[in-house]
Structure 1
Amino acid sequence: MAAEEPAEIDAFDSVLDAIGGTPLIRLARIAPPGGPRVYVKAEFLNPGGSVKDRAALAMVLDAERSGALEPGGLIVEGTSGNTGIGLAIVAAQLGYRLAVVVPDKTSREKIAILRAYGAEVVTTPGTVPREDPAHVRQLARRIADERGGWLADQYDNPANPAAHRETTGPEIWRQTGGRLTHFVAGVGTGGTISGAGAYLKEVSGGRVRVVGADPEHSVYSGGDGSPYLVESIGHYRHPDTAEDLWPRSYHLDVVDQVVPVGDRESILVTRRLAREEGLLLGASAGTAVAVALRVAAGLSPDDLVVVVVPDSGRSYLSKYYDDGWLDRLGVPVGHAGELTVADVVGPLPAAAPGLRESATAGEALASAGGHELRPVGPRASAEPPSVAEVTGTLDVGELRRAVEAGVVRPGDPITGYVGGTLPAIGLGETRAAAADRLGGREAAWLLSDGRVVGAVHKGQLEPAPDGGGAGS
């Protein structure tokens, strides 16, 4: 009796073959009722947990073909984490070494994942001018030059948007049967929205509308460029940056509209996606879905929206899913039955804008607005400053007395009256937790959504004699 032919094995030859081909998943519960169908492109199901696996593979293969990357060579990249993870997977499979530079706001989960794959991780300050040698991209370039490595340079590498033009866009068009009307994606390096958006516009004859999602303080949507809480999206710009160059991977002509979203909305939508849709995602996905829901609210049932959700929430369990982390930054998650800092401090005066160290005494006093402590940092802004950029504290009372005594003239700089920065307490923290963290210190910055809106003094957090809060 003849032996049977062995059955065909349904398997990938390597993990690299598992990159791409992610499904569409309909938002069944949080999409507007009676409106268009809204689907997420589930990029968190890539092997590395993010959409960046696609660009990482494409950039390495392109470098191999061009001879820029030699066998066993060193790959170097500046990244918020996800591209580094994608490159780590590719490097492990193809026999390369990898060094990544990440900003210090990168989640500890991403750093742990990078190290688990064998990558060398270098952490650097995330809030420095572009020209500073410590800037993520500058430091990555220097490491590549000094060690003879190949710099992937996702921001300017044409293989980044090309990966999405060749894979992500065609997948979405095929999965929707050509019925797609609106495509939404966050804008980071710009590769996803530029590549996939260009393909979808071309194949639809211009019918598909491409909408970008962006943190409200990112410069892409007209923000001031100050720091924001959401990782892996947007464009930060230090005020001392001499020339703000946008990534060449971002093709502005492809995008019809860029919509800003506040950190709080992004994070709360992210948490809703987990609890109502069963989708554990990063907050950049919350930003993109928030925009997709706004877009969908104005459409008919005949429209069809696809939104890219770039990465998994497993990389952010210590951030957006950690109530304590959100409490400390002033993003409210609720503490039923417990007094919060907001309860005990009462109404705040209008938030004083941040001061630059180069501000004059007259300017500082004229804009004090009832605040006795002022945050000092790299930018002066009409909006509350991000705590990430606060480097010092001005005692307004001390400065005022110096001016009145004639020791300081109104035109003198405030530099000599700027002390160290204060600890920070979120408005949503419980009074007891905030008091414990303040310890023996006399004052702390009050934060709302990661931004300084005032100061709180030790006495305000101490229980009143009747056991209530100081403001009760």
Structure 2
Amino acid sequence: MAPVRTTGAIVVAAISISMAVLSYIVSSKKKKNKKFRNGLIDAIGNTPLIRINSLSDATGCEILGKCEFLNPGGSVKDRVAVKIIEEALESGKLTRGGVVTEGSAGSTAISLAIVAPAYGCKCHVVIPDDAAIEKSQILESLGATVERVRPVSITHRDHFVNIARRRALEANEVASKHRKSVQMNGKPLEQTIDYTTGEEKQSSALPHNCKGGFFADQFENLANYRAHYEGTGPEIWEQTGGSLDAFVAAAGTGGTVAGVSRFLQEKNPNIKCFLIDPPGSGLFNKVTRGVMYTREEAEGRRLKNPFDTITEGIGINRLTQNFMMAKLDGAFRGTDLEAVEMSRVLLKNDGLFLGSSSAMNCVGAVRVAQSIGPGHTIVTILCDSGMRHLSMFLLQFYTEDSKLFPSHMVASFELLLILGKCEFLNPGGSVKDRVAVKIIEEALESGKLTRGGVVTEGSAGSTAISLAIVAPAYGCKCHVVIPDDAAIEKSQILESLGATVERVRPVSITHRDHFVNIARRRALEANEVASKHRKSDQMNGKPLEQTIDYTTDEEKQSSALPHNCKGGFFADQFENLANYRAHYEGTGPEIWEQTGGSLDAFVAAAGTGGTVAGVSRFLQEKNSNIKCFLIDPPGSGLFNKVTRGVMYTREEAEGRRLKNPFDTITEGIGINRLTQNFMMAKLDGAFRGTDLEAVEMSRVLLKNDGLFLGSSSAMNCVGAVRVAQSIGPGHTIVTILCDSGMRHLSKFCNAEYLSQHGLTPKATGLEFLGIR
């Protein structure tokens, strides 16, 4: 069998100003000699196929998961969005400036909202109001207009799909009136869409000045099926070398299971293809019995939500044009509880943080393994991650690579390439995945950490999330101390991942209650308790019944370390040089290989300093002519240190300040002390960036490149432009896209929050950086 990836994709993305995206070298023969892909669109697909170790070991089968959550938009629906829009543009049903409408439970809508701007289009989404609230938040942050409506039968005129179809018609009517008005008097008719009729009053509106509408119609549009027949299926065949015995997946629109099953069975009719169906869906009966439902149960006779399940985007009580293309050998029924349990098992044992449909697909894979027996290879789809399911699937039941694309936005920079390494496509969603793995592996090798022990860390979020995901894969637990001014969704993600979390007030690093210092103490406390247990065992063979009491004369903590932990280890991302080594041994060499050594400059911000240190030192050791720079946010002292050799005046020294040393909305970057990691950096200069520049940059990249980035990524891109302005055209500059905007919805990507801080973005291009 062909090699199967056992780690997530590492991709590089390229940014405007002839922005482009590099990528890791995919296994596809078609792309074997290509070190970068043409833009965000070309970054979609060719996702890794990984062995799901826990399920494979338990069943005796090779159970492989296609990591569709590593697509730029975070789900399998990226493929569908691209195919639908491209076919619509080719046919003339959609034009640049038009609006794509869709009725979607979330992921297709998010993919359309990300992909549409790359084609010069807008997006309007109608979504049922029982879908996870974070999906609406993401859509609005992506610039789509959103309607939340009550769930009703597909036969009802106000089903979300039917409303979306009407919105496209309304947009076409308005566009037609505008065109006629222009033809008559050269002056466009000033008109907006009025949703208020005798039967309905909508609070949302289609995007203004749209040049017609196109209803994506993911359920019936066979572009959905073709996306998988021409893409996903062939990729699976190539990645397995054709050596697979079965494929299984759930169905919502039916496009995935249809496209993949038909392709695989045309290649080899001996490959068995199955459906896994959630509660209330009629597809199981249709596949196994030929009848979808009794007359009384027909969806046309039911006006309420036809089934009640916490899984999203799968299960349906009608036959779609896409599903009818499927070639299936059988079906299995899965339950909500099985999906929930599966998600927790995969998180604990494999470090896979998956959403409801992905978990149900894995239930299906086990069912197939039980049915056909050990010694077989089974493939399923890991549709999306758990990041979009925090409010329902991961809370309600919770107990416990890239790419080069040209942009003509700035003519004077046509000969300049700014490349971004897409670290947000790591399995844990950020650059910190590398650091977490390196820290834990070195600790285990040295004996400072043992299986069953707890890893503690003080982190503003991303390192903590990566540790929480990675630790279980090494049989360890995770306890995180986080400042209470960090975006709340980071705490929510951590808790959903099973980490114990303490939120504390921000104070100076010299204060004993700085979040990093508290995390250090927690590791010591865990070691003390573990030592007492060991001594007790040695004395009488019976472990001491003891828990950690955080209440002292000076503090009272509401959180607790995981029980029964076998000692503690303080990750210490700021001072632990495993951080630096992760980038010196990994990120730096990847950038060198992906650019073929043809780069002129590297720039990044610093928090712990590990990334900028590891990458800069590696690159300059390979070629001392490569210039490496720092971009520093407001209030941080590193800019002064690099440019003037002095970090701050005596009065400004952090040791004399007990309050938060700076005020910026960027997270995870900027610091007022020198860390062991940062001191390893080899830098040629530094630039200062502002909060507003970062906000404006994030909106420009979203609008023009479909890149939905977080605050540190946006600041890095500001730095890339600053370097470009400094060294001039004809050069290649690389930066890091640390994480996506998914973790910044409450602050950096929240319009109300930005308005309160005077940071409302207004730019249409890069004029905020002096480029017109």
TM-score by length of 1: 0.63
Q: Give 1:136's aligned residue.
A: 160
SS at the partner of 2:54?
coil
User: CA 1:253–1:283 in structure 2 vs 1: closer, same or farther (change >3 Å)?
Assistant: closer
Is this contact kept in 2: 1:32–1:293, CA < 8 A? no
> 1:216 matched to which residue of 2?
279
Does the alignment pair 1:111 with 2:172? no
Quick one: which of 369, 372, 382 aligns to 1:296? 369
SS in 2 for 1:169: helix
Structure 2 counterpart SS, 1:180: coil
Kept after mapping to 2: 8 A contact 1:30/1:277: no
The residue aligned with 1:270 is 343
Equivalent runs, 1:455-466 vs 2, <5 Å: none
Structural mapping, 1:18-417, within 5 Å: 18-33=43-58, 35-126=60-151, 128-148=152-172, 149-204=213-268, 206-222=269-285, 225-235=306-316, 237=317, 245-251=318-324, 254-322=327-395, 325-326=396-397, 333=399
Are 2:356 and 2:393, in contact at CA under 8 Å, matched by a contact in 1? yes
Shift in Å, 1:304: 0.5
- State the superposition RMSD in angstroms: 1.9
Does the C-alpha gap of structure 1 residues 69 and 253 become closer, same or farther in structure 2, counting only changes over 3 Å? closer
Partner AA of 2:100 in structure 1:
I
- SS, match of residue 331 in structure 2: strand
Q: CA deviation at 1:300?
A: 4.3
3-state SS in 1 of match to 2:372? coil
Report how far residue 276 of structure 1 moved.
1.3
Distance 2:243 2:53 in 1: 19
Report what 1:402 is aligned to: none
Determine the C-alpha separation between the residues in 1 that align with 2:357 and 2:153.
23
CA distance in 2, matches of 1:258, 1:33: 22
- Report the Cα offset of residue 136 of structure 1: 1.0
TM-score by length of 2: 0.39
Q: Distance in 2 between matches of 1:107 and 1:92?
A: 24
Alignment-mate amino acid for residue 144 of structure 1 = A
Alignment partners' CA distance in 1, 2:59 and 2:170: 58
Report the alpha carbon displacement of residue 34 of structure 1 after superposing the two structures with TM. Answer: 6.0
Task: Tell me how far apart the structure 2 counterparts of residues 252 and 18 of structure 1 sit (CA, whole Å).
Answer: 27
Partners of 1:271 and 1:18 in 2: CA distance: 30
C-alpha displacement of 1:326: 2.1
**Equivalents in 1 of 2:153, 2:248: separation in Å?**
30
Indicate conservation of the 8 Å contact 1:36/1:299, yes or no.
no
- CA 1:65 to 1:293, structure 2 compared with 1: closer, same or farther past 3 Å? same
CA distance in 2, matches of 1:196, 1:69: 27
Q: Considering only CA atoms, is the larger Rg found in Structure 1 or Structure 2?
A: 2
Quick check: 2:59–2:370 contact (8 Å CA) kept in 1? Answer: no
Tell me how many residue pairs correspond in the alignment.
Answer: 311
Is contact 1:100-1:121 (8 Å) kept? yes
**Offset from partner CA, 1:370-390 (integer Å, 9 cap, x none):** xxxxxxxxxxxxxxxxxxxxx
> Residues 278-307 of structure 1: CA distance to partner in whole angstroms, max 9, x if unpaired?
111111111110111111123344311001
Distance 1:187 1:9 in 2: 34
SS in 2 for 1:106: coil
Partner of 1:460: none
- Report Cα offsets for 1:182-228 as digits up to 9, x if no partner: 00111110000001110000011x11111111102111113764221
- 1:139 counterpart letter in structure 2: I
How far the C-alpha of 1:9 sits from its partner, in A, is 9.2
2:461 alignment partner in structure 1: none
Give the Cα separation in 2 of the matches to 1:301 and 1:268: 22
Contact persistence 1:180–1:208 (CA under 8 A): yes
| Deviation per residue, 1:43-91 (Å, 9 max, x gap) | 1101111100001100100001101001111110111111111111111
Q: Partners of 2:326 and 2:319 in 1: how far apart?
A: 14
CA distance in 2 between partners of 1:298 and 1:87 (Å) = 37
C-alpha change, 1:184 and 1:120, in structure 2 (3 Å) is same
Gaps of 5+ in 1: 1-6, 238-244, 328-332, 335-472
Quote how far apart the aligned CAs of 1:251 are: 2.1
How many Å separate the matches in 1 of 2:141 and 2:79? 20
Q: Counterpart of 1:142 in structure 2: which amino acid?
A: R
Residue 180 of structure 1 contacts residue 306 of structure 1 at CA under 8 Å; is this kept in 2?
Answer: yes
Find runs of 4+ consecutive structure 1 residues off by over 6 angstroms: none
Letter in 2 for 1:198: R
Q: Which has the higher helix share?
A: 2
Aligned to 2:486: none
- SS at structure 1 position matched to 2:313: coil
What is the CA–CA distance in structure 1 between the aligned matches of 2:356 and 2:271, rounded to whole Å?
25
Query: Displacement, 1:144?
Result: 0.9
Q: Are the structure 2 counterparts of residues 145 and 249 from structure 1 closer, same or farther at C-alpha, using a change threshold of 3 Å?
A: same
Letter of the 1:111 counterpart:
S
Partner of 1:443: none
Displacement of 1:321 after TM fit? 2.1
TM-fit CA distance, 1:134: 1.7
Provide the rounded CA distance (Å) in 1 between the counterparts of 2:50 and 2:42. Answer: 21
Instruction: Name the aligned partner's letter for residue 134 of structure 1.
Output: D
Which sections of structure 2, spanning at least 5 residues, go unmatched? 1-21, 23-32, 173-212, 286-292, 298-305, 401-772
- Counterparts of 2:383 and 2:90 in 1: how far apart (Å)? 27
Instruction: Letter of the 1:183 partner, please give it.
Output: F
- Counterpart of 1:415 in structure 2 is none
Distance in 1 between the 2:45 and 2:326 partners? 25
Over 3 Å counting, the alpha-carbon distance change for 1:35 and 1:188 in structure 2 is same
Helix, strand or coil: the match of 2:50?
strand
The 1-side partners of 2:34 and 2:85 are apart by 28
Secondary structure of 1:281's counterpart equals coil
Describe the shift of the 1:124–1:202 C-alpha distance in structure 2 as closer, same or farther (beyond 3 A).
same
* Cα pair 2:254 2:323 within 8 Å, conserved: yes
Instruction: List per-residue Cα deviations over 1:124-165 (Å, max 9, x = no partner).
Output: 112x12232220111111111111210010111111100100
Tell me the distance in 2 between the aligned counterparts of 1:246 and 1:23. Answer: 31
Letter in 1 for 2:364: V
Contact 1:271–1:321, Cα closer than 8 Å, also in 2:
no
Rounded Cα–Cα distance in structure 2 between residues aligned with 1:48 and 1:276: 26
Aligned counterparts of 2:307 and 2:167: Cα–Cα separation in 1: 27
